[in-house]
Chains A and B, each alone.
Chain A
């Protein structure tokens, strides 16, 4: 099943915010932002910008009629800075002009003098200075302190993982259009229309119902538009409120990269204790999350780091500590995996260190400690329907791991400076918003008298295939052709109080809500036809292939006939469905509960080849066994696995987000920040879905697929590390990601680098081999 979206895309007819026909009098906006990471505003003069030709208005914090506040969890984020600036890229003024170019030019005429304060970019420093968001969190299981003496080997280490730029190909954008009375309609590229509605209303001092937010589709989101689409929408609405004109704001790539948050960088310390056989007895970790200058979603992301800090393993004694640290960088935000990947990385690093200490293959330790049915997660949820071992075993068998490993070892024996590395990466990812209340969704279904169907849900199409998924679900539930079904834009007047499209849960929540709505309509239709045809058992009426059946034989009625008759008989052909994930809760006081409806499992095997003299490498193969439940749309699900993997691999290898000590982003353009290109992905990419793996919550046995595959990418770090070990075994290679070619080279040749040269012997023997 492919949605109509795909056809529109291939024709160039799909519309994004700024492709919508331009309304009369449309004005364009540009943002003036702070060039300083921390300081007090001394002198702020916008008069020259205001006088520029073509400029209609220059708006500052003073012009905000409501509350100058857009913090999603904690009210700590001003829409436009008032007295203090806290990161480079923080919006301070909005210029509204006839053209975007005029607006940007006028921004250059704004004078902003800032008395500079000290800048913190390191989360540990922030923590020491008490600069944190919320309170530190600790998850515990068993008794770690009591367990250390029983461990035969205890090792410790540090990890540092970098942030990640979303690079959604469509930059942040919004358009606000005045409606009747005080109504403002906002077209926004947001994953969270309700967040936009709420915050626009807050900023303007309006009730929510005066703000209508409409989202047709996104050119990618990946978490970057979960809450950080809000400021741009608020700014356009503010400008519309002020000028009475429609106003559009489209960030350039560089503005977007400078002004918006990204995946959080983390620093972590770990300590792990095992038996000589490699059974993990105790694990302790301290995560310092670099949250940036405002809380944004960081505390929620921190929580998921804790939830996933032991990845797919059962460890009886655990203490997991995490704290969200305030620095003077753009507020870091949601990105596929939502803090989970950072937690898992440290776990995998700890296992690598143990393996190196014991001289045991890493995968042996991984396998020995995999979760099993009825184990406990550190947050108190019991492991049910566990597929950790199953996916592991299927992967080992399907992809013939032992033979593969032998080939790699052989290669490494034969080659001197080119080395291969092989790593296994199991994943376990909990599905549900960890804020339990967000696990709700509604859908609105209309059947028209010609038999065509319109469906609105709270889910946003951002390329993940939501429209196709909802269409598939609805066509199956109604028993009609998918061509009859249209999935509408996501609109706050049709669906109220919607949760963001995030947490991989969009199809789960909105698909189930759609099913619940459709079931009401179908049941009404069945009762009606039973009455019409004098059938004793309405439950034995079915609709499929656009026809009505009774006890398995055709009644002669078609779908359209059915609908028309129902209309004539004044049967309600519309329904609203509401779904709330059952059985989930979490007690933050005790840090225990059942936060997830279920878990997604899987295992990947990754192979790399590393040129140990140049540091360059290729990812040769990634072979995955993934737990998808029952596929809903195989191609779309596969696309999610592949796309997620690409981002995960990118995060670990080539995507290097850099800030200097002044808080300047040194990777704020596509020339200095490298996302994976067309050569990046392994030639040999295989994905097998676990068979007979239906998930009861569904819909239709399906499991969420958006985020989990991202974390397979973590394996590439350890494959590279293994290749490095094959060239030069040493225990002190750093756990610092991304492992760019440059970093690999510097790590491999640390001594030579220190001495200022490579040893000629190395080069010579390299020439002789290969």
Chain B
């Protein structure tokens, strides 16, 4: 049995029929072809799959696609406006907040939510916002710096 859902992703409306057990991340990656969202564990542990659902950072590996029915989603692909990088994207690039890049989408989306709620977070708040995200390549310091860079830029 397939269930019809309607979701807005990065400003575009999509209507699809999906298996009730299909994960939201699978829907994004396989049905919509938005492969910017990654899967690092599928057990809510790594944060690589973090996206924004109605403004809240959620782990899309732990939600069903049907739970997103009627919701507004924002993924990595929707951050840049008219080819202009969002400050948080720019931050990761400038401060070398990434190496292999696999954790990056989740980190960026988690940081994005933080900055939406709190445009001048201190270091502690940044770390708290990222505590659900693993990065195996960096030592996290550059990731924190990337978020600080973005905060500065937003406030300028």
Residues of A that sit less than 8 Å from B by CB: 2, 5-16, 18-19, 21-22, 166-171, 217-220, 222, 252-254, 462-465, 635-636, 638-639, 642-643, 645-647, 669-671, 675-681, 685
Whether the Cβ atoms of A646 and B108 lie closer than 8 Å is no
Any A CB within 8 A of the CB of B59? no
Whether the Cβ atoms of A2 and B40 lie closer than 8 Å is no
Whether the Cβ atoms of B92 and A9 lie closer than 8 Å is yes
Partner of A9, one of B40, B77, B79, B104: B104
Whether the Cβ atoms of A220 and B93 lie closer than 8 Å is no
Any A CB within 8 A of the CB of B27? no
User: In the complex, given contacts A219-B38, A670-B46, what are 9 additional A-B residue pairs having Cβ atoms less than 8 angstroms apart?
Assistant: A10-B85, A11-B80, A169-B100, A169-B136, A217-B101, A463-B98, A639-B137, A642-B139, A678-B130
Minimum Cβ distance to chain B for residue A188 (Å): 15
Whether the Cβ atoms of A639 and B127 lie closer than 8 Å is no
Whether the Cβ atoms of B138 and A642 lie closer than 8 Å is yes
B59-107 contacts to A, CB under 8 A, are 75-77, 79-80, 85, 89-90, 92-93, 96, 98-105
Residues of B that sit less than 8 Å from A by CB: 29-30, 33-38, 40-43, 45-46, 48, 75-77, 79-80, 85, 89-90, 92-93, 96, 98-105, 108, 127, 130-131, 133-144
Partner of A685, one of B33, B35, B141: B141
Q: How far is the CA of A217 from the CA of B29 in the complex (A)?
A: 19
Whether the Cβ atoms of B41 and A463 lie closer than 8 Å is no
Whether the Cβ atoms of A639 and B142 lie closer than 8 Å is yes
Question: Which residues of A have CB within 8 Å of B90?
Answer: 10
Whether the Cβ atoms of B96 and A220 lie closer than 8 Å is no
Q: How far is the CA of A310 from the CA of B81 in the complex (A)?
A: 56
Whether the Cβ atoms of B131 and A14 lie closer than 8 Å is no
> Chain B contact residues: over half helix, strand or loop, or mixed?
loop
Question: Which residues of B have CB within 8 Å of A464?
Answer: 99
Q: How far is the CA of A351 from the CA of B48 in the complex (A)?
A: 42
Whether the Cβ atoms of A679 and B131 lie closer than 8 Å is yes
Whether the Cβ atoms of A646 and B100 lie closer than 8 Å is no
Beta-carbon nearest neighbor of A9 in chain B: B101
13 contacts between A and B (CB under 8 A): A8-B101, A10-B90, A11-B85, A168-B136, A219-B101, A220-B100, A220-B137, A639-B137, A639-B138, A642-B142, A643-B137, A646-B140, A671-B43
Whether the Cβ atoms of B98 and A9 lie closer than 8 Å is yes
Give the most central of B89, B90, B96, B100: most A CB within 10 Å: B100
Question: Which residues of B have CB within 8 Å of A680?
Answer: 140
Question: Which residues of A have CB within 8 Å of B33?
Answer: 21
Whether the Cβ atoms of B137 and A678 lie closer than 8 Å is no
Beta-carbon nearest neighbor of B33 in chain A: A21
Q: How far is the CA of A21 from the CA of B34 in the complex (A)?
A: 11
Minimum Cβ distance to chain B for residue A655 (Å): 11
Top 8 closest pairs, chain A to chain B, by CB: A12-B36, A463-B100, A12-B76, A219-B102, A9-B101, A670-B45, A463-B99, A19-B35
Known: A10-B92, A252-B42. A463 touches B85 (CB 8 A): no
Beta-carbon nearest neighbor of B99 in chain A: A463
Question: Which residues of B have CB within 8 Å of A253?
Answer: 40-43, 45-46
Give the most central of B35, B43, B99: most A CB within 10 Å: B99
Question: Which residues of A have CB within 8 Å of B36?
Answer: 11-13
Minimum Cβ distance to chain B for residue A465 (Å): 7
Question: Which residues of B have CB within 8 Å of A21?
Answer: 33
Known: A11-B80, A169-B134. A670 touches B101 (CB 8 A): no
Question: Which residues of A have CB within 8 Å of B131?
Answer: 677-679
Whether the Cβ atoms of A222 and B136 lie closer than 8 Å is yes
Question: Which residues of B have CB within 8 Å of A676?
Answer: 139-140
Whether the Cβ atoms of A11 and B76 lie closer than 8 Å is yes
Question: Which residues of A have CB within 8 Å of B77?
Answer: 11-13
Known: A463-B99, A639-B96, A669-B43. A646 touches B134 (CB 8 A): no
Q: How far is the CA of A222 from the CA of B137 in the complex (A)?
A: 9
Question: Which residues of B have CB within 8 Å of A681?
Answer: 139-141
